[in-house]
Amino acid sequence: MTTMTATRTGNPITVDVALGARSYDIVIGRGLVATLGERIAALKPGAKAAILTDATVASLHLAAAEQALAAANIPSSRVVVAAGEGSKSFSTFERVCDEFLALRLERGDLVVALGGGVIGDLAGFAASCIRRGLDFVQVPTTLLAQVDSSVGGKTGINSRHGKNLIGAFHQPVLVVADTAVLDTLPRRDFAAGYAEMAKYGLLGDAKFFAWLENNWQDVFAGTPARDEAIAICCRGKAGIVARDERESGERALLNLGHTFGHAFEAAAGFSDRLLHGEAVAFGIVLAFGYSARCGLIAPALTERVIRHLAAVGLPTKLGDLRGPLPDADRLMELIAQDKKVKRGKLTFILVRDIGNAFVAPDVDPADVRAFLAEILAQR
């Protein structure tokens, strides 16, 4: 990853996701929604677009996106769903597909995902299925989506068995990350996205994590450091995706904190009790704690991670989680549904140091259960 400079003066940053014939650009900068039409027209001349968004984002940014498309003579329609994780469901997926078909989208047309991770996942999965595959453009409006979920082609919906268990790999043809739209995010949502930003430093770039420890306020404040930090995360993910698109090896590292985090997120009912990024933050703390339990790292490293995540307002202990929690057995049932499970054996992302994560296959479930029981007993 690239060393921070924080000296950019306003020109967009472009990051290439190198996937051969399916390569695409991530364009990062302030005010980029206004350029959406011209960028799409250059990629897909003559195409019409269906914009999928949620009610909250629609009230803030839909008009600007539609105006940008109209200025480039791109006919567009809108499909608006409810905000929140609940829209990543079978029922909403069915409705979205039906509406796309009613709009008579052809294979040469495209879907625009205007929103956070929920919208990107839902729009991408629907696009992968309609007429056996439409192109789609990601216009992520949350920090979490800009640094993580909009890049790499993972799309899908949730099941009662767990998060993101139904979906497809379907790469976008363009990602337009307008960092100015992040100014409208509630602080809690921005902090939740920041958990994924910190994750990139923790899994593979110790210098970046150290920079974040000293400069995270600038990222929150929207200085040029925000754009640069987002670009560093995107470069890191783009490199991993280019080397391991379908998560057969290295890409699993991007799930640092997710195995534990998804279990707690599912236990909270995929609700605003625990946002995805908050669950990731808590899961990262548990991944470091479990690594310390296994003798891989000194406990002081876990404390360092806790100090930083807590400083930005993320949950790092059970007392930070709202509402009732299941016991260790139920959490283990949820962990057993993790997508990294292979032939019934648990796989975790553990660490040997800050910036040095690795894939740990065949982790002892009994030891994980004992660890979780000890954590739960602290509440």
Confidence check: pLDDT of 203 > 80: yes
> Is the domain of 176 the same as that of 325?
no
258 noted as active-site residue: yes
247 noted as active-site residue: yes
- The pLDDT value given to residue 133: 97
- The pLDDT value given to residue 9: 43
Residue 160 belongs to a domain: yes
Residue in the block written with tokens 């899961």: 283
> Is the domain of 271 the same as that of 352?
yes
Confidence check: pLDDT of 332 > 90: yes
> Is the domain of 132 the same as that of 31?
yes
Q: In this structure, what are the phi and psi dihedrals at residue 166, rounded to the nearest 5 degrees?
A: -125, 120
Residue 193 belongs to a domain: no
356 noted as active-site residue: no
Residue 240 belongs to a domain: no
Reading the block at residue 232, the tokens are 């560093």
Choose, from 88, 163, 199, 258, the residue flagged as catalytic.
258
Question: What percent of the chain clears pLDDT 90, i.e. is strictly above it?
Answer: 88
Residue 232 belongs to a domain: no
Choose, from 235, 262, 308, 339, the residue flagged as catalytic.
262
Question: What percent of the chain clears pLDDT 70, i.e. is strictly above it?
Answer: 96
Choose, from 88, 163, 199, 251, the residue flagged as catalytic.
251
Name the pTM for this structure.
0.92
Domain closes at, from 169, 184, 199:
184
Range of the domain at 361: 256-376
CA distances from 317 to 129, 168, 307 (A): 40, 33, 11
Domain closes at, from 142, 160, 184:
184
Confidence check: pLDDT of 269 > 90: no
Residue 168, CB-side half-sphere exposure with 13 Å CA sphere: 15
> Is the domain of 162 the same as that of 268?
no
Confidence check: pLDDT of 288 > 50: yes
44 noted as active-site residue: no
The per-residue pLDDT of the chain, averaged, comes to 94
CB 180 within 8 A of CB 329: no
Choose, from 170, 276, 293, 308, the residue flagged as catalytic.
276
CB 122 within 8 A of CB 93: yes
Residue 119 belongs to a domain: yes
Choose, from 85, 99, 245, 247, the residue flagged as catalytic.
247
- The pLDDT value given to residue 340: 64
61 noted as active-site residue: no
308 noted as active-site residue: no
Helices of type H across 8-160: 36-43, 55-57, 63-71, 90-102, 117-129, 143-144
Choose, from 61, 158, 245, 255, the residue flagged as catalytic.
255
- The pLDDT value given to residue 134: 97
> Is the domain of 178 the same as that of 298?
no
161 noted as active-site residue: no
> Is the domain of 155 the same as that of 35?
yes
List the CATH number of the domain containing 76. 3.40.50.1970
List the CATH number of the domain containing 321. 1.20.1090.10
Contacts with 304 (C-beta within 8 Å, 6 or more apart), sequence order: 354
Over residues 280-284, mean pLDDT: 98
Residue 269: count other Cβ atoms within 10 Å of its Cβ. Answer: 12
Number of domains the chain contains: 2
Choose, from 44, 61, 88, 154, the residue flagged as catalytic.
154
> Is the domain of 180 the same as that of 40?
yes
Q: How confident is the model at residue 293 (pLDDT cuts 50, 70, 90)?
A: very high
Residue 155's DSSP bridge partners are 168
pLDDT in tens, 42-75: 999 999 999 999 999 999 999 999 999 999 999 9
Residue 215 belongs to a domain: no
Residue 291 belongs to a domain: yes
> Is the domain of 175 the same as that of 296?
no
Confidence check: pLDDT of 163 > 90: no
> Is the domain of 120 the same as that of 265?
no
Confidence check: pLDDT of 233 > 60: yes
Choose, from 11, 132, 160, 343, the residue flagged as catalytic.
132
Q: What share of the chain is helix, strand, coil (3-state, %, to 5)?
A: 55, 20, 30
Choose, from 66, 85, 99, 196, the residue flagged as catalytic.
196
Contacts with 75 (C-beta within 8 Å, 6 or more apart), sequence order: 48, 49, 69
Residue in the block written with tokens 């995706």: 241
Domain closes at, from 184, 207, 230:
184
Helices of type H across the chain: 36-43, 55-57, 63-71, 90-102, 117-129, 143-144, 187-204, 206-221, 224-243, 258-267, 276-293, 299-311, 328-335, 365-376
> Is the domain of 120 the same as that of 269?
no
Residue 114 belongs to a domain: yes
48 noted as active-site residue: no
> Is the domain of 127 the same as that of 263?
no
Cα separation, 321 vs 318, in Å, equals: 5
Choose, from 61, 163, 235, 237, the residue flagged as catalytic.
237
> Is the domain of 148 the same as that of 267?
no
Grouping H, G, I as helix, E, B as strand and the rest as coil, residue 360 is: strand
